[in-house]
Structure 1
Amino acid sequence: MTEGETPAQVGASSVDIKDVDVIAPNFKKRLSGVTSTIVQLVPYQMKLGIRIATLGPGLPAYLPHIRWTGLFGLWRPPVGRRHRIWHARRNNEMLAGLILKYVLSMPLKLIFTSAAQRHHSSYTRWLIRRMDAVAATNSRSGGFLQVEHTVIRHGVDLDLFHPPQAQDDTIAATGLPGTLLVGCFGRVRHQKGTDLFVKAMIELLPQYPDWTAVISGRITPENKGFADSLKAGIAKAGLERRIVFLGEVDDIRPWYRRLDLYVAPSRNEGFGLTPLEAMASQTAVVASDAGAYAEMIVEGETGACVPAGDYGALRDAICTYLAAPSLAALHGKAGLRHARDTFALENEARSLNRLYEALIG
């Protein structure tokens, strides 16, 4: 077992469909928030005794999975059950579940988890109304659902995201200038508010020479012009060494531990796990109120939450911590306690398992 693995991650592989009670489909090759949720959650559900398997591309080999040919086994219910659970998180996964259940007459119960914070299309509403149960990742997302639902908040894996433990978990290990680090992680694009973060850093860092800023995340071809304009602004300000684009890193976890402050300036989010990952790493957080961020942060105790898209409010909240690193350290410790008490991934797994049991008994 390697560092960061849970016992449930070791030795998992293709499983026999007759031994599966819950199927977690993943119909997207590219890494996304939904994919990340499945990757982190399934091992914890296994630890709690749920017989669950994944289906689809883009998932690590250690997760239990069924092959596409295993779908032919869905006509027979699992051992000791009358139905299986098909847990969808995307429209195409809901549609597949409906075809399996109503066209092919397979004994399935359908669940959909919604993270969207917008009015759903008529097609999506049509799909949702045909689910046997619906969950929302936060209260705001639930407000856009027009059906009965259960709020089950995402959690963070406290084994994978943890406080600093070694010299590698410090800014000194990075070779970057300064003694304090502020960061913003996620795909570099307008929706994520990367431009707001860069603008704030250009304005604030000259006043606080001990701080350095890092940005990590993928730059897609359609957002290359956006990223290039941010880099040009940084160069014009002469701050290339103090506002650094890391690109996509192989392992983001050490970077959370190296930060003294994490900033999540999104204009729009579904749920958004990065503030929880930062708090679990003992890092204070400044975030917009997009997604579920406002439900994660205890204002003035674990960080600050500002209106999405409000540059002035974001800049001022960041400035509070840049001017008082001791406050960032204090709120980082409070954030760790809050993440452990309220947002442990095991809590999400237990809540989902209760929903499963209510459907298949």
Structure 2
Amino acid sequence: MLPQDLPSQDRLTVLHVSQPVDGGIARVVADLVRSQVAAGLRVVVAAPPGGTLHVEAAVAGAEVVLWSARGALGTTLSGRRRLTRLVRRTGPHLVHAHGPRAGYAARMALRGRIPTVHQPHCWPFEVVGGWAARVWERYAARWTDRVLCVSEAQRRRGATVGVTGRWVVIPNGVDLRRFSPTDDDARAAAREALPVLRDTVPAGAPLVVCVARLCAQKGQSTLLRAWPEVAAAVPGARLVLVGDGPDRAALRRAAPPGVLFAGAVDSAAPWYRAADLVVVPSRWEGMALVPLEAMACGRPVVLSDVGGARECLPADAADDCLVPPGDPAALARAVIALLADPDRRTALGARLADHVRMAHDVQRMAGAVLNLYRELLAVPPVLTAARAGR
């Protein structure tokens, strides 16, 4: 399928195959699309209907096509056949698959005939568990030119269960134009602009925000178990869960007083800016985007010490920010310590914002991915920073 003569950069076609189409994975794909279109590539995005990815990719200048992988990890024959036909029609020179289902389906369909990058974002054996998911990843690795991990912890986790391959680690990044620090006046304005807060949260009340899909992976149940202790120690404190998902009803039933549910939102940035503290109590991750986005807005974070969490923080912030996963008592202690000390929160937020600017700029991430493509396709180094929009 790959032409004998490599085309010029202006005709280089990259196909991104993604499932799911919302949340952090969709934001990463959309950021890559924007950078690659700016660099002069022809970009095609194949993904199921729904979510936000189709619209964001189209606005960024990509060609968008519908594709969906049904069944366990997208292993159905019909899904692979649809993808094979799509590849023939779009003619990519490289395929970049995102997520376990898309990654397995793409590699089964292509079987190494086109340079293939698999970015799991989260290992399937962490999502569905069991030996089968591990066997699938080991099996598909034979048709993978690079396994792209977002943290060294994620790479080690894959290697531990026997996934072999040519690894590359490129940490996640965030758009520093969309997520930037604000002062106390801006925090008050952000609260006033959000009806859920304006109508129910007294001015100046300590505010903790958790932005995530409402599902088992994201660990909101641990945060709810911790909240009564926080509320007793910090009078007037409020917690807002931002997002929607399959656990919404169960979490509402379990929620103690002082907890608000904001539902799904178009942008999390106003919620970060309204918060005194952002909590990310996940049970597993590759490298979550939410703490990076919150840190870029100058907000202190408390997060579970799961895959990629340590790597997204400056080394001197681990004691303030990290707690064991699934431990409501430890989570409550960390949240109380920061809510009780405004000066400490301010200093920590400034340190975290500086760290994100230096280590997790989305342009750095996107440039590293472009260089990976260049390496795989033997393209001369013409994917310059200037053309990539940096």
Query: Hey, what's the Cα distance between the residues in 1 that align with 2:340 and 2:65?
Result: 55
**Residue number among 116, 137, 155 corresponding to 2:122 in the alignment:** 116
Query: Hey, what's the Cα distance between the residues in 2 that align with 1:114 and 1:261?
Result: 29
AA aligned to 2:172 is H
**Residue number among 359, 362, 370 corresponding to 1:353 in the alignment:** 370
Q: Secondary structure at the match of 2:147?
A: strand
Matched, 1:22 2:14: yes
AA aligned to 2:45 is T
Residues 344, 135 of structure 1: alpha-carbon distance in 2 compared, 3 angstrom cutoff: same
Aligned to 1:41: 32
Q: 1:157: how far off?
A: 1.1
Superposition pairs of residues 229-248 of structure 1, within 5 angstroms? 229-231=253-255, 234=256, 239=257, 242-248=258-264
1:166-224 Cα deviation digits (max 9, x unpaired): 4664434431224132111112233322122122222122332353221111032xx24
**Residue number among 139, 146, 152 corresponding to 1:126 in the alignment:** 139
Query: Hey, what's the Cα distance between the residues in 1 that align with 2:90 and 2:36?
Result: 21
Query: Hey, what's the Cα distance between the residues in 2 that align with 1:198 and 1:284?
Result: 19
Q: 1:41: how far off?
A: 2.4
1:100-127 Cα deviation digits (max 9, x unpaired): 545xx9x621111133355752122111
Aligned to 1:90: 99
Q: Secondary structure at the match of 2:350?
A: helix
Query: Hey, what's the Cα distance between the residues in 1 that align with 2:315 and 2:340?
Result: 18
1:51-75 Cα deviation digits (max 9, x unpaired): 4332234411313115478643456
Q: 1:299: how far off?
A: 5.3
Q: 1:262: how far off?
A: 0.5
Residues 19, 301 of structure 1: alpha-carbon distance in 2 compared, 3 angstrom cutoff: same
**Residue number among 281, 291, 300 corresponding to 1:265 in the alignment:** 281
> Contact between 1:183 and 1:213, CA under 8 Å: does it hold in 2?
yes
Q: Secondary structure at the match of 1:177?
A: coil
AA aligned to 1:333 is A
> Contact between 2:103 and 2:119, CA under 8 Å: does it hold in 1?
no
**Residue number among 149, 156, 159 corresponding to 1:136 in the alignment:** 149
Q: 1:326: how far off?
A: 1.5
Aligned to 2:252: 228
Aligned to 2:191: 171
Q: 1:351: how far off?
A: 0.8
Matched, 1:278 2:302: no
Give the gaps of 5 or more residues in structure 2. Answer: 1-9, 67-84, 127-132, 379-390
**Residue number among 259, 267, 271 corresponding to 1:255 in the alignment:** 271
Query: Hey, what's the Cα distance between the residues in 2 that align with 1:278 and 1:169?
Result: 17
Query: Hey, what's the Cα distance between the residues in 2 that align with 1:246 and 1:320?
Result: 25
Superposition pairs of residues 199-214 of structure 1, within 5 angstroms? 199-214=225-240
Q: Secondary structure at the match of 1:335?
A: helix
Query: Hey, what's the Cα distance between the residues in 2 that align with 1:244 and 1:225?
Result: 13
> Contact between 1:183 and 1:214, CA under 8 Å: does it hold in 2?
yes
Higher helix share: 2
> Contact between 2:103 and 2:118, CA under 8 Å: does it hold in 1?
yes
Q: 1:266: how far off?
A: 1.1
Residues 224, 304 of structure 1: alpha-carbon distance in 2 compared, 3 angstrom cutoff: closer
Matched, 1:197 2:223: yes
Aligned to 1:3: none
Query: Hey, what's the Cα distance between the residues in 1 that align with 2:65 and 2:211?
Result: 34
Q: Secondary structure at the match of 2:321?
A: strand
AA aligned to 2:264 is E
> Contact between 1:288 and 1:294, CA under 8 Å: does it hold in 2?
no
AA aligned to 2:95 is W
Structure 1, 294-303 or 126-135: larger mean CA deviation:
294-303
AA aligned to 1:62 is V
Query: Hey, what's the Cα distance between the residues in 1 that align with 2:315 and 2:104?
Result: 40
Aligned to 2:214: 188
Q: Secondary structure at the match of 1:129?
A: helix
Query: Hey, what's the Cα distance between the residues in 1 that align with 2:248 and 2:231?
Result: 25
AA aligned to 2:120 is S
What RMSD, in angstroms, separates the aligned Cα atoms of the two structures?
2.6
Aligned to 1:341: 358
Structure 1, 283-292 or 305-314: larger mean CA deviation:
305-314
Query: Hey, what's the Cα distance between the residues in 1 that align with 2:365 and 2:321?
Result: 24
Query: Hey, what's the Cα distance between the residues in 2 that align with 1:158 and 1:181?
Result: 23
Superposition pairs of residues 271-310 of structure 1, within 5 angstroms? 271-298=287-314, 300-301=316-317, 303-310=320-327
Q: 1:300: how far off?
A: 4.9
TM-score (norm 1): 0.80
AA aligned to 1:93 is A
Q: Secondary structure at the match of 1:62?
A: helix
